[in-house]
Each structure stands twice: as C-alpha cells, then as structure tokens.
Amino acid sequence: MKIHDFIDALPKAELHVHLIGSASVPTVLELARRHPGGRVPTTEKELRAFYAFRDFADFARVYGTVNALVREPEDVATLVTGLARDLAGQNGRYAEVTVTPYAHHVVGMPRRAVTEALDLAARQALDEHGVRIGYIFDIPGEFGAEAARITLEHALTEPPQALVAFGLAGIEQERVHHRDAFRDAFRAARAAGLHSVPHAGEMTGPETIWEAVEHLGAERIGHGISCLDDPRLVARLRAERIPLDVCPTSNVRTGQVARIEDHPLPRLLAEGLTVTLGSDDPPMFATTLTNEYRVAADVFGLDRHALASLAGNAVTASYLDSETKKTLLAEIDALL
C-alpha cells in the first residue's frame, strides 16, 4: 500500500477545526447567495483570491467577513453538516468543532436557536455521514470580558448536547488585557465539567502557553508551537502528556512559519511531545485533514507507524467515550 493510500485509509479524528473556517467554497457561495449584499465574493475564482492572506490580521478580517454571512440558525446547521460531509470523504470519524457563540450573539441569534441548530446538525452529521460531532465553545480573545461572559453563559445555561470543552482563540497578543476575565470564565467552565482546550503559543511565545497551563487548566493546547523556545515548558508538557493540536499549513498561511519546510512539527515529535494534526480552517487555507497527514509524510518523511501514532493520538486526546476510542484505535492498529 502506497503511503497516500495508507493515509486515505486511516480512521481520523479532527480536534482542531473552527466552524466558520470549515465552510467549503460551495458552502460559502451558498451563504453569500442566501444573504446578498455582503462583502464576500460570489464567484469561486474571486473567493479563492479572497483567501490569499497577507498575515494573521488579514486572515482575521476575512474570517470576520465570512462570519457575517452566518445570520440564521439554518446557516449554523449548514456549516456543521457541510463539515461532516467533507470529513466523511477523508475517512474522518469524529470532529471536535470550535464554535464561537459570541459571533452568533452579535448578529442577534438567540442562544436557544443556536443550540437547537447545533443539536440538529450533530444528529444529521452522524445519521447522514457517519461522523460524530463534539463541540468546543471558544472565547474570541480580542473581545475581552464581554465575550468571555457571553460564551460562558451560553455554555452553562443552554449548551448543545454534544458540548465537551471550553476554548480561547483569536489574537493572542490581546489576552493580557483581559487575563482575569478569561481565568474566571475557565474556572467556572471547568467547575461545570467542561474540558479546557485554549489556543496558545501560535503567534506569541511560551508565556501564553504557561498562562494556559497554569491558570486556565489546559488539558490540550491549540497550536502550542512556540513551546520549543522554553525547555522547561517542553519538559512540563511532556511529563503531563498535554497534547498539542498542531496545524502546519495554517501556521504557514497566516505567516507564523515562513515555509512549510521550516515548521517545527519534527522537533515537537523528537522532543517526545504528544501531537495531533488539525486543519484549523481548511478551505480558507486550501488544505484538508488528509492533506496535513500528507504534509507530514511528504515534507517531513514520517512513515506509516508515525502517521498511525498521530492518528491514535487524536483519538486518545479526544473527548469521545471510551468504547468508541477503543474501536477506532483497534482500526488504526489493524491498518498497520
């Protein structure tokens, strides 16, 4: 079996994908037609050009423009089922989808309507595409205490049935101004039984990861690639087996890494850290979860055992039930 065929056959879990950023080009065009008058291009050629980001700030601007198309609960459900369809085509079995309730709040969608759409879409994803869905509610960090409050209230008062975790994303440099609000929100979310999965160390140094581990109770880190600048932090992550959800193509497309060949994925693995692969915002970055595994093989030379280990890490680090984990891990072992 050729390496790409092996990758195609691997059962996969996607732990790092954003709902808005998961919207395929056809889905975005559908939303643009559904809600005319926005600033999103309405032809495929123009939309692909729209996704040519100069830097992270430009990416954030484009992301916000696409987000403005999501105005009705039906739009939310369309995104989830579209993600499941795309993932099923890659032998994806499970996705923990990052949802930003604050973004839906500011366009006037009621919490109950958003939750009902998420619940309906999760059922459809499983029934129609065989993909299980878990949800992560994340705070967009640059919007500070208000976003933290609204995200937490939604998570605690009207959560979707598949809500498993609480996150923090957005522009990392802005977090220092709202540190206490984020700490309080995570403390309350964890007390309610939600797992802690903040982004950290993507566009800032190790200090953001330390904050996530020591004050947000991080059980998994989104990105975390700057940990390599602090050997003591690397030792902590390794000893506590805190997984890093690493998204190589994303890091290049947003300018955090200059070239894919320069990505620290091999160093993270060499340090004995627990790593999973994620696609982040796949259509926006012209990638897929399968493509991230192909990058690991083609660019960094990972063999079948190393690729299977990454796939197994994602299953183990997920918040799936134990029986489903055992089944998927057995399928991965059988493929080897």
Checking if the pLDDT of 228 tops 90, the result is yes
Please tell me which residue, 53 or 6, carries the higher pLDDT value.
6
Would the CA dihedral through 285, 286, 289, 292 be positive or negative?
Answer: negative
Residue matched to tokens 């790092």: 16
Facing residues of 137 across strands?
99, 166
Residue 38 has pLDDT above 80, yes or no: no
The structural domains of the chain, ordered by start, are: 3-335 (3.20.20.140)
Q: What is the pLDDT of residue 55?
A: 76
Q: What percent of the chain has pLDDT over 70?
A: 100
The pLDDT value recorded for residue 48 is 82
* Alpha carbon distance 52, 285 (integer Å): 8
Residues classed as catalytic = 202
Q: Nearest to residue 63, comparing CAs of 36, 23, 94, 112?
A: 23
166 pairs with which residues across the strands?
137, 196
Window from 35-39, 124-128, 320-324, 332-336 with minimum mean pLDDT: 35-39
pLDDT for res 197 = 98
pLDDT in tens, 129-153: 999 999 999 999 999 999 999 999 9
CA distances from 69 to 7, 80, 141, 177, 275 (A): 34, 15, 21, 29, 33
Measured from the Cβ of residue 324, the count of other Cβ atoms closer than 10 Å reads 15
Q: What's the whole-number mean pLDDT along residues 193-217?
A: 98
Using alpha carbons, list the distances in angstroms from residue 35 to 26, 81, 284: 14, 19, 20
The whole-angstrom separation of Cα 230 and Cα 205 is 9
The H-or-E segment that residue 66 falls in is helix 56-67
Tokens of 228: 């390599």
289 touches 96 (CB < 8 A): no
Q: Which residues contact residue 292 at a Cβ distance below 8 angstroms, ignoring those fewer than 6 apart?
A: 247, 248, 249, 277, 278, 279
pLDDT at residue number 146: 97
The answer, yes or no, to whether residue 237 has pLDDT greater than 90, is yes
Place of tokens 């850290």: 273
- Contact yes or no for 17/95 (Cβ under 8 A): yes
Helix (H) or strand (E) holding 276: strand 275-277
Segment 160-185 shows an average pLDDT of 95
Give me 221's structure tokens. Answer: 């880190």
The H or E element that residue 300 is part of is none
pTM of the model as a whole: 0.94
Comparing C-alpha atoms, which of 254, 277, 280, 204 is closest to residue 54? Answer: 254
